[in-house]
Structure 1
Amino acid sequence: MSDPLATADPHTHDTLDRATRVAAARITRGISPNAARAAWADWAAHLAYAPGRRWDLTERAIRNTTRAMMASAGLDEGFTPAPGDHRFRDPAWNDYPYRIWKNWYLSQEDWWNHATWGIRGMRPRSVDRVNFMARQVLDMVSPSNSPMLNPEILNRTRATGGANLVTGMQNAVSDVAAQLRNDPQAPSEAFQVGRNLAVTPGQVVFRNHLIELLQYSPQTERVHAEPILIVPAWIMKYYILDLSQTNSLIGWLVAQGFTVFCISWRNPTPEDRNLGLEDYRRMGVMVALDAVRRINGPARVHACGYCLGGTILSIAAATMARDGDDRLASITLLAAQTDFSEAGELMMFMDESQVAFLEDMMWDQGVLDQKQMAGAFQMLRAQDLVWTRAVRRYFLGEEEHEFDISAWNADATRMPYRMHAEYLRGLFLENRLTAGRFAVEGRVIALRDITAPFFVVGTEQDHIAPWRSVYKATLFTESDLSFVLTSGGHNGGILSVPGKPHRHYRMGHRPVGRRYMDPDSWQEGHPQIDGAWWTAWADWLAGKSAPETVAPPPMGNRAEGLAPLMPAPGSYVLQR
């Protein structure tokens, strides 16, 4: 007698398993509970075999409790918030009884920070995870979040007769209603694309299903012969590099006499679920490079990639080098990683369990939704982006001040299922690019094959692409390379407009054949320079260009089928 189960379709079982994980992912916002449980189990198991550490934690608990009691009685200055923690900056937190809540909370925060830091034998990723999760809970229970314990809220309520709470309730109802309707965030009224954002004049000169290629109108009578092709990240709208008229890298480059082209990525829908990483290289970078050459002529191209755009540009450049394609005059990487072994806080939960969880969620949706991506970034800075924002909006009744960069930040994009799954697994999880296992068109590529000079920029406070990770480009390449470490974070550090105060950077040069220098030694050996790194980059680009300037190229090339289609910023950037 045959086994009735032997004829069962295994795909049915797999679909059931995936559907179950999808249901769980909707509750956890894509965070794998297995990853969290494993981290805490690792911590608890190693703490159980560390009596010295438990003794140390007991002593620290006694010291912290004693100090909190003395601070509450005014006999000790108490605990000081960590640098950058602005929750207790109101002077009233030093008054009684608020100083009690503040010091007891900070004593607990200090203890948990110490308790969840490395125990001998723990997996490093488990250390990061338990510290992160403890920090999330502590941020949630902070007395600064309570209208009954926060003196700033109480004083504002007395001063306004409770009007701040009425306004806050209106804000809360509005936000909850928008969440229940699943409405996308309304575009900013103060900042609008095409009106006061992304306003550098230009034309869309090419369009396919994945990109629009923007060519910017010349602003000088003569230009450098070599154009610049900018490859932004598809996780963001391109106009982070073309914000307001006074805060635009693209506009500034054009004013310096460069011919600038920029890719504007399509905002994918569930119908684009099968677009892969290779499609982004072939239909994005390579097609754009072909169009630039057909418009600008035979001069080689300065290619610039930002964030994930720099990663796909590196893959494209290594493929070109493997195949003997020498059309690149130089490669600039802005806060872009080529090695993902130390990829920052986003790597914290990136293991097989987490990637499988995300893959199943995207398999169900077809895309990774912009709200899910925004939630992940908010978790990394929950203290500022979640709780402090909630206090100001719902209890203090304050409207958020809008800036060009905050309007851009709210204009998020989606990512196709296949591409993002390949990116997470092939680069984040398995780090194939620098491990010699990343294949394009069936053949492995290597960054060391690239002979074009590099200009690599890292930012000091980057929590998405930490500068030491970005610096690893010096470890896996052999061509001429200049590295810049600039002040600011992932976005603010790149938007370093000349003339803006409190800007500085360090810059070093590694010629061909020089031995590797570790990042800390590099930082110690290169003095700080006041000002913006943009000017150093423009000088570097000019030095890698032909000495003679030329007349600007035409806008598009009708003879090559590249007639201007519409004015910049185009149509893809407006997709929601």
Structure 2
Amino acid sequence: MTEAQDTQNKLPDPVELSRTMASIAERSQRIVQEFIEQQNAESGDRDALGMTDPLNIGNAFLELTTKMMADPTRLFQAQMGLWQDYMSLWQAATSRMLGGRAEPVVAPESGDRRFKDQAWEDSYLFDYIKQTYLLTARWMQKTVQDVEGLDDKTRRKVDFYTRQFVDAMAPSNFAMTNPEVLRATLESRGENLVKGLENLVGDLERGHGKLDIRMTDHEAFEVGVNVATTPGKVIYENELMQLIQYSPTTETVMRRPLLIVPPWINKFYILDLRPKNSFIRWAVSQGITVFVVSWVNPDERLARKSFDDYLLEGPMAALDAIEQATGEREVNAIGYCIGGTLMSATVARMAALGDDRIKSITFFTTMIDFAEAGELSVFIDEEQLAALEDRMNKAGYLDGRAMATTFNMLRANDLIWSFVINNYLMGKEPFPFDLLYWNSDSTRMPAAMHSFYLRRMYQQNDLVKPGCITLANVPIDLSKNTLPTFVLSTKEDHIAPWKSTYAATQTYKGPVKFVLAMSGHIAGVVNPPADPPKYGYWTRKGKAPKDPEKWLQGATHVEGSWWPEWRAWLARFGGGEVPARVPGDHDLKPIEDAPGRYVAVKTGG
């Protein structure tokens, strides 16, 4: 076979390519029309309410520009510094072009996977593009950060959205400046771009004109089949939740059952992904009778469900059901993220009423003091809340995809741009990954509950103020928690920053054990015992000091999972041992097999 024939054989089939492009064009036309109609409707709603900038970005950058113009000398100095860096880079690049060696003027941070391809180092052209971007990005962010006179909220907002812009402009995100994409394009004769275009159109179709990036192979997982598979039964349900009791795997169990209250922003099976990383399955194997709340995925019919309802129909109803299911009145409990925020209020309310059924409480990555809420506070101001409430009131809920987009923006390079490159530029299918499947399985938020949560906690920080919030007719004072308390935080948490969650050690009045796990909001929690260990954690004996940094300086780092440390702590409050309990062996009969119907409801489009 000649070289010309070989090249011709590698070219895409023109007939098939024509059909593909025609299909893409037809589907794109429908998407554009639907998107225009949707935008016109939303634009009319915003105009009627005077909300042309629902994220309130324009005002923040207008204030930034005003402050910058008030000090032109500082701006000129920043510009000169950038040009000096460019001169150093040009000299280094020229040296490399002439065959010499030159140290980089700027280098990516360790762990920056955007520039992992060797061509970013080996090719002087791509090295120059990379360093030009890094210098400009550094200059832009530092210039914004150094502007004086901005209030903290405005400074945080302009810094956040400047970083979003900087991340979006990375050369790795464009076909002509990404060496890996260029290689794939040459090798496949452009098939990667055609396939990428198909992927893009498919994501737009699924999002009805809004980009809904597919992060994993959705066909590779099914709830109850290869995720959320720990055996158990649904033994109780109401409008807001199903309560699952898991089947024992030991002959004896702790006398006191364990109630887990997960967040309702996502689904409970983050704690029951696969057998090897399931916290629930592991806890059952440790001789614990485990109950888990599986929250409903609400629609417009539950629009008026409030935070009070989540408290009464969630943990309070679960406590009653556990007593019926086991005959045991006393329990230990866990609250995760917003589920932990709810449990902190539940424990305080129970203390005020003299209800002593919970004997110990564990919090996973839980905020109760929202004074320093991290980057999520960028989305909490009056203008944005008003726009969000208008949207929720029309639908009766907040679409789960909106919340998912917010969380993804906190780690845009990992959770947005890496998939843009893989799916659209490389034309690849996303890798099947259980954690990302769960992350894409979003849930809705009832309008009344979510508005209360954002305003009273994030915006006004009322939960930590004694008596400022009343839930189910009882003023809440978190300091009434005198229970043995285990607080788990994660060092790289973008959702619940660990120094903010540390405030719990100074709020609760009982003995508090604080543990800081490595990694982030999910990976730091879902860190099973393994050989070799994946992540470690820090722990410290004695009373926690007021300053979180002082706590960390005196803490001991331990390799491996924190799960055994928690199990040893919980054993002190287990209440002795009893024969293992089987779901249905007491007053409550099973309704259906775990994981139940509620968790299977998809948000959909």
TM-score, length of structure 2 as denominator length: 0.87
What CA distance in whole angstroms lies between the structure 2 residues aligned with 1:298 and 1:255?
20
1:249 to 274, 279, 282: 279
Give yes or no for the alignment of 1:574 onto 2:597: no
Question: Residues 400 and 66 from structure 1, CA distance in 2 versus in 1: closer, same or farther, beyond 3 angstroms?
Answer: same
Match of 1:72 among 72, 93, 105: 93
Match of 1:15 in 2: none
SS in 2 for 1:528: strand
Distance 1:382 1:571 in 2: 33
Match of 1:206 in 2: 236
Partner of 2:62: 41
1:497 maps to 528
Shift of 1:515: 6.9
Letter in 1 for 2:144: T
1:508 lines up with 2:535 in the alignment: no
Partner of 1:348: 378
**Structure 1 residue 183: Cα displacement:** 11
Q: CA deviation at 1:315?
A: 0.7
Change in Cα spacing, 1:24 to 1:201, as seen in structure 2 (3 Å) is: farther
Compare 89-98 and 278-287 and name the one that shifted more. 89-98
Q: Which residue of 536, 553, 574 maps to 1:524?
A: 553
The CA deviation string for residues 52-72 of structure 1, in whole angstroms up to 9 with x for no partner, is: 532431332222222332233
Instruction: Determine the C-alpha separation between the residues in 2 that align with 1:484 and 1:25.
Output: 49
Give 1:10's aligned residue. Answer: none
Counterpart of 1:311 in structure 2 is 341
CA distance in 1, matches of 2:266, 2:44: 28
Does residue 61 of the first structure (1) align with residue 82 of the second (2)? yes
SS in 2 for 1:108: helix
Distance 1:262 1:244 in 2: 16
Q: Give the 3-state SS of the residue equivalent to 1:212 in structure 2.
A: strand
Q: Give the Cα separation in 2 of the matches to 1:506 and 1:459.
A: 10
Describe the superposition over 1:482-501 as per-residue Cα deviations: whole angstroms up to 9, x where unpaired: 00100111111100100152
Say if 2:259 is the partner of 1:229. Answer: yes
* Local SS of the residue matching 1:180: coil
Shift of 1:44: 2.5
Amino acid at match of 2:331: V
Work out whether 1:111 is the aligned partner of 2:139.
yes
SS in 2 for 1:246: helix
Deviation at 1:431, TM superposition (A): 0.6
**Contact residue 366 and residue 417 of structure 1 kept, 8 A:** yes
Q: Which moved more, 1:432-441 or 1:170-179?
A: 170-179
Within the candidate set 172, 183, 189, 1:155 is matched to 183
Select between 169-178 and 475-484 the one with higher mean Cα deviation: 169-178
Instruction: Give the match for residue 537 of structure 1.
Output: 566
Give the secondary structure class of the aligned counterpart of 2:113. Answer: coil
Q: Give 1:78 shift.
A: 2.8
The amino acid that maps onto 1:170 is E
Contact 1:225 1:545 in 2 (8 A): yes
> Are the equivalent residues in 2 in contact too, given 1:72–1:103 (CA < 8 A)?
no
Amino acid at match of 1:345: E
| Equivalent residue, structure 1, for 2:99 | none
Deviation sequence 1:110-167 (CA, Å, 0-9, x none): 1011111143332112122111111222222222122112111111222223232232
Contact 1:241-1:249 within 8 A present in 2 as well: yes
* Matched position secondary structure for 1:434: coil
Cα pair 1:215 1:556 within 8 Å, conserved: no
One-letter amino acid of the counterpart of residue 144, structure 1: S
Q: Provide closer, same or farther for how the CA distance between residues 166 and 265 of structure 1 changes in structure 2, counting only shifts above 3 A.
A: same
CA distance in 1, matches of 2:352, 2:528: 36
Q: Does the residue aligned with 2:80 lie in a helix, a strand or coil? A: helix
TM superposition shift of 1:433: 0.8
Give the AA of the match of 1:488.
Answer: S
Q: Are 1:71 and 1:103, in contact at CA under 8 Å, matched by a contact in 2?
A: no
Change (3 A) 1:120 1:370: same
Runs of 4+ more than 4 Å apart:
18-22, 24-28, 181-187
The residue type paired with residue 573 of structure 2 is K
CA distance in 2 between partners of 1:181 and 1:379 (Å): 19
Q: 2:294 pairs with 257, 264, 275, which one?
A: 264
Distance 2:77 2:539 in 1: 43
Task: Give the match's secondary structure for 1:243.
Answer: coil
Pairs aligned (count): 551
* Cα displacement (A) at 1:45: 3.0
Q: Which runs of 5+ in 2 are unaligned?
A: 1-40, 97-101
**2:490 pairs with 430, 451, 459, which one?**
459
| TM-score (normalizing by structure 1) | 0.91
Query: Structure 2 CA distance, aligned partners of 1:25 and 1:337?
Result: 36
Q: Give, in whole Å, the separation in 2 of the partners of 1:135 and 1:401.
A: 27
- Which residue does the alignment assign to 1:217? 247
Aligned to 1:32: 54
The amino acid across from 1:564 in the alignment is: P
The CA RMSD over aligned residues, in Å, is 2.4
Deviations 1:356-403 (A, max 9, x none): 111111111111101211211222222222222111111112221111
Instruction: Report if aligned partners of 1:46, 1:121 keep a CA contact under 8 Å in 2.
Output: yes
Distance 1:288 1:299, change over 3 A: closer
Deviation (angstroms), 1:333: 0.3
For 1:130, what is the secondary structure of its paired residue? helix
Question: Measured at CA, do residues 237 and 225 of structure 1 come closer, stay the same or move farther in structure 2, by a change above 3 Å?
Answer: same
Letter in 2 for 1:160: S
Is 1:334 aligned with 2:355? no
Q: Give the 3 Å change call, closer, same or farther, for CA 64–146 of structure 1 in structure 2.
A: same
Alignment counterpart, residue 173 of structure 2, candidates 134, 140, 145: 145
Q: Within 5 A, what are the aligned runs for 1:159-558?
A: 159-180=187-208, 188-436=218-466, 437-499=468-530, 501-510=533-542, 514=543, 516-546=545-575, 548-556=576-584
Query: How big is the shift at 1:298?
Result: 3.7
- The CA deviation at 1:22 is 4.3
Q: Which stretch of the first structure deviates more once superposed, 448-457 or 132-141?
A: 132-141
1:20 is displaced (CA, Å) by 6.9
What is the alpha-carbon distance in structure 2 between the residues aligned to residue 358 and residue 21 of structure 1?
A: 15
Gaps of 5+ in 1: 1-17
CA contact (8 A) 1:268 1:416 kept: yes
Aligned AA for 2:505? T
SS of match in other structure, 2:220: coil
8 Å CA contact 1:67, 1:76 repeated in 2:
no
CA distance in 1, matches of 2:168, 2:566: 43
**Which is worse superposed, 119-128 or 252-261?**
119-128
- Greater Cα offset, 368-377 or 295-304: 295-304
Q: Please give the per-residue CA displacement for 1:257-316, whole angstroms capped at 9, x wherever unaligned.
A: 000000000000012111111100011110011111222234421110111100001111
Residue identity opposite 2:112 in structure 1: D
Q: Is 1:294–1:557's contact at 8 Å kept on the other side of the alignment?
A: no
Residues 202, 568 of structure 1: 8 Å contact kept: yes
CA contact (8 A) 2:204 2:211 kept: no
Alpha-carbon distance in 2 for matches of 1:37, 1:508: 46
Equivalent pair of 1:295/1:553 in contact (CA under 8 Å): no
Say which SS state the counterpart of residue 569 (structure 1) adopts: coil
Q: 1 CA distance for matches of 2:218 and 2:540? A: 40
Alpha-carbon deviations, 1:176-222, whole Å to 9, x = none?
23233789979822221111111111100001111100000111101
For 2:140, the aligned partner's letter is: W
Identity over the aligned pairs, expressed in percent?
38
